[in-house]
């Protein structure tokens, strides 16, 4: 439910992105009529039994077709029960998550397809889904839990910028309140995306997710650099992980109207990775 709501919060599709999407859908067996009518960003939610070719793209005999990641270009790709997807399908997300496109090589042909999507993935804390730090009723064996967790490799986890734990809630939120806050969030996302659009267009023609981090807006002050040093020495954070966190902190700074990345923005971005702290295994 939250992932479909997230689509509503995204800024409208630009003309160029819409034309790119039309090209992708025309090259697939998908109907393009619904896309033309709504002109909305795509939302794709394939089942975890999907093959790697259908998710990443592929084909045979020289006919290379777009996969779900390209059909979700400039939109949302929702993967429920993330660790249940095939290992090769999960690992195939590495390149597009990094660069916003995918190289497909098959017998008789190869091509590069756009795949600049936002990934939303959901998973249970353990195979039986009953583990919680406060009220643990998990029935899984330690081996089974470890096997479940191992399905997500460090390079894939490093490419996921934000991880949050969803708790069971009994409170009922008033509809009016939800609508008001959704409108506010939508406005702040639109402002933030305009700021980032200007910044990235000025430095690189690459998708925003792969934009050059040498831009001065990513520079850290002395305190920020100290914090990053602690991540690297104490938590053994990889280079990619540090970069991801700085990117998130830049977005948080934009949402807060900060010109420079502050140490509070950095710390908030680091805290948005509950998987690192929430290790039941
Ligand atoms: Zn369990």
Whether residue 89 is found in the same domain as residue 221: no
From ligand 1's centre to the CA of 142, what distance in Å? 9
From ligand 1's centre to the CA of 149, what distance in Å? 12
Tell me the pLDDT of the chain averaged across its residues: 84
Q: Which residues contact 155 (CB under 8 A, 6 or more apart)?
A: 91, 94, 240
Whether residue 141 is found in the same domain as residue 222: yes
Q: What is the pLDDT of residues 96-132, one digit of tens each?
A: 998 899 998 877 667 889 999 999 999 988 888 888 7
Judge whether 119 lies within some domain. Answer: yes
Domain end point (choices 93, 108, 123): 123
> 240: pLDDT confidence band, cut at 50, 70 and 90?
confident
Cβ burial, residue 106 (10 Å; 0-12/13-18/19+): middle
Judge whether 172 lies within some domain. Answer: no
> Rounded to 5 degrees, what angle do the CA atoms 212, 190, 252 make?
55
Q: What is the pLDDT of residues 58-95, one digit of tens each?
A: 876 567 789 999 999 999 999 999 999 999 999 999 99
Domain count of the fold of the chain: 2
Task: Say what the pLDDT of residue 264 is.
Answer: 93
Task: Say what the pLDDT of residue 117 is.
Answer: 93
Kindly tell me if the per-residue pLDDT of 281 is higher than 50. no
- SS3 assignment, position 112: strand
Whether residue 98 is found in the same domain as residue 217: no
Whether residue 149 is found in the same domain as residue 113: no
Q: How far apart are CA 138 and CA 131, in angstroms?
A: 5
The whole-number average pLDDT for the span 207-214 is: 58
By residue range, what is the domain housing residue 44? 14-123
Domain end point (choices 123, 148, 178): 123
Judge whether 4 lies within some domain. Answer: no
Whether residue 133 is found in the same domain as residue 242: yes
Q: What is the pLDDT of residues 18-36, one digit of tens each?
A: 999 999 998 888 888 888 8
Instruction: Please give the helix or strand (H or E) that residue 5 lies within, else none.
Output: helix 2-9
From ligand 1's centre to the CA of 129, what distance in Å? 5
Q: Which residues of 169-185 are buried (b: 16+ CB within 10 A; e: fewer)?
A: eeeeeeeeeeeeeeeee
Kindly tell me if the per-residue pLDDT of 176 is higher than 70. no
From ligand 1's centre to the CA of 61, what distance in Å? 44
Q: How far apart are CA 129 and CA 144, in angstroms?
A: 12
Kindly tell me if the per-residue pLDDT of 142 is higher than 50. yes
- Around Cβ 39, how many Cβ atoms within 10 Å? 12
Write the CA distances from 148 to 89, 129, 141, 213, 246, integer angstroms: 16, 11, 11, 34, 29
Residue 278 vs residue 43, higher pLDDT: 43
From ligand 1's centre to the CA of 281, what distance in Å? 10
> 215: pLDDT confidence band, cut at 50, 70 and 90?
confident
Whether residue 146 is found in the same domain as residue 62: no
Whether residue 116 is found in the same domain as residue 135: no
Domain end point (choices 69, 99, 123): 123
Judge whether 1 lies within some domain. Answer: no
The whole-number average pLDDT for the span 38-66 is: 87
- Around Cβ 202, how many Cβ atoms within 10 Å? 10
Ion ligand 1 residue ranges (Cβ < 5 Å): 126, 128, 131, 138, 140
């Amino acid at each position: 439910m939250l992932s479909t709501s997230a689509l509503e919060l995204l800024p409208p599709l630009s003309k160029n992105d819409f034309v790119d999407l039309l090209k992708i859908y025309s090259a697939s067996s998908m109907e393009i009529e619904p896309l033309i009518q709504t002109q909305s960003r795509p939302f794709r939610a394939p089942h975890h039994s999907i093959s790697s070719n259908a998710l990443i793209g592929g084909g045979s005999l020289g006919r290379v077709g777009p996969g779900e990641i390209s059909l979700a270009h400039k939109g949302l790709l929702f993967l429920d029960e993330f660790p249940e997807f095939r290992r090769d399908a999960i690992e195939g997300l590495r390149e597009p998550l990094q660069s916003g496109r995918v190289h497909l090589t098959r017998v008789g042909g190869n091509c590069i397809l756009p795949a600049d999507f936002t990934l939303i993935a959901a998973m249970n804390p353990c195979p039986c889904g009953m583990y919680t730090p406060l009220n643990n009723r998990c029935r899984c064996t330690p081996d089974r839990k470890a096997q479940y967790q191992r399905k997500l490799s460090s390079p894939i986890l490093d490419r996921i910028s934000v991880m949050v734990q969803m708790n069971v809630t009994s409170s009922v939120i008033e509809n009016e309140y939800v609508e008001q806050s959704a409108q506010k969030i939508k406005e702040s996302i639109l402002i933030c995306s305009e700021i980032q659009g200007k910044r990235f267009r000025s430095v690189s023609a690459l998708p925003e997710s792969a934009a050059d981090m040498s831009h001065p807006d990513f520079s850290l002050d002395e305190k920020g650099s100290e914090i990053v040093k602690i991540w690297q020495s104490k938590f053994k954070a990889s280079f990619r992980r540090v970069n991801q966190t700085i990117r998130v902190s830049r977005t948080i700074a934009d949402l807060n109207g900060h010109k420079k990345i502050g140490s509070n923005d950095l710390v908030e971005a680091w805290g948005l990775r509950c998987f690192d702290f929430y290790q039941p295994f």
